[in-house]
Amino acid sequence: MPTDVAIIGDHFMLPEVFEEKILEACGDKVSVRVRKDGWPDEPMEQGYAVEGMDGLKEYYGTADGVVDFVGDAEVLVTHLAPMSGAMLTRLPNLKLIAVSRGGPVNIDMKAAQDHGVLVVNAPGRNASAVAEFTIGAILTETRKIRVGHEALRAGVWRGDLYRADVTGRELNEMTVGVIGYGNIGTKVVKLLRAFGCRILVNDPYIQLDPDDAKAGVELVSFDRVVTESDVVTLHPRVTEETRGMMDAEAFGKMKKDALFVNTARGPLCDYDALYAALVNGEIAGAMLETFSLEPAPDDWPLLQLPNVTLTPHIAGASVRTVTFAAEQAADEVRRFLSGQPPRNPC
């Protein structure tokens, strides 16, 4: 008999794409049913806000709704559906959860282990998307694209942007500091190399790729990155070590004409300290894609500053992210059915 696979997608990670990739990989070995949830048109929930969901983050759906849909399925493929300990006790047939995101923050991992449920994820699913977005964010600020756009929208022709003391700078004459050299940071470095800029990398747990080292990329201390860079861009994971790493002290060491870019995670940055640095002229500008609280409140002070560009956490949103993550999930299901070890166990 075919293995029962329940797919819970949404308007980003489309369930029909999951289904297509799983059927391509597994054929008649699976019986598939799908559900499409309302995210991102409807907001996610946080585990601390709902009784019985403690420890879960960024999930969408109710416990009863997910349990009823999964039913007797052995495999759940999902993007945001929650899975708490109490839910797992109600799903004795479940053996595999494939989460199509970099971190399974919607799953109680300890409970999954206790119930013998394998959880796999999709590391690097959006690495290329975020890396490309980061380059776009840097160019938007360094070449005054956002400033010129906003002025024209307001009916102002900023001819003064051609003044040498106002206009932007080319990356080939700048130093760019990349903090974090994982799936995304390494791709940012590769893209930056094409612009001919000096590149500094800070990550205490890696060695440089030989090609990057040969190209002149330097592995340096955190202090050197923040003090020597014209652009500082963040790409580490959030850990106790990295939480709030960009604080008042770090911003105080940056160049006064430097740009700060965060396309990683909000908790990496002390946003009150960043606001002060921007207002007091300690740094020139910032491009922010992620925030400490999402959605950002309407009255958030950083929304009002003229030297900040903001986007609503969309750096990882691309069509290729969808298809790549679905392909990773489908391969994990195939490997599970054939008795092979998972590629990306959590």
pLDDT 10s per residue in the chain (346 long)?
899 999 999 999 999 999 999 999 999 999 999 999 999 999 998 888 898 898 898 899 999 999 999 999 999 999 999 999 999 999 999 999 999 998 899 999 999 999 999 999 999 999 999 999 999 999 999 999 999 999 999 999 999 999 999 999 999 999 999 999 999 999 999 999 999 999 999 999 999 999 999 999 999 999 999 999 999 999 999 899 999 999 999 999 999 999 999 999 999 999 999 999 999 999 999 999 998 888 888 899 999 999 999 999 999 999 999 999 999 999 999 999 999 999 999 9
What kind and span of H or E run contains 311? none
Q: Is the pTM of this model over 0.85?
A: yes
What is the amino acid identity at position 242?
T
Domains 3-125+318-337 and 127-310 share a fold: yes
CATH code 3.40.640.10 for 3-125+318-337? no
Residue type at 2? P
Residue of 149, 294, 320, 343 marked active site: 294
265 counts as catalytic: yes
Alpha-carbon distance of 280 to 71, in angstroms, equals 57
- DSSP run (H or E) holding 60: none
Instruction: Mark whether 313 is an active-site residue.
Output: yes
Domain ranges of the chain: 3-125+318-337, 127-310
Handedness of CA 57, 62, 64, 69 (dihedral sign): negative
Q: Which of 235, 265, 289, 332 is catalytic?
A: 265
Distance CA(201)–CA(31), nearest Å, equals: 47
Catalytic residue among 146, 313, 327, 334: 313
| Catalytic (active site) residue 334 | no
CA 159 to chain centre: 37
**In what helix (H) or strand (E) does residue 82 lie, and over which residues does it extend?**
none
Length of the chain: 346
Among residues 219, 216, 223, which one has the least CA distance to residue 206?
219
- Rg of the chain on CA atoms, in Å: 22
CATH class, range 127-310: alpha beta
pLDDT at position 62: 96
**202 token code pair:** 């800070």
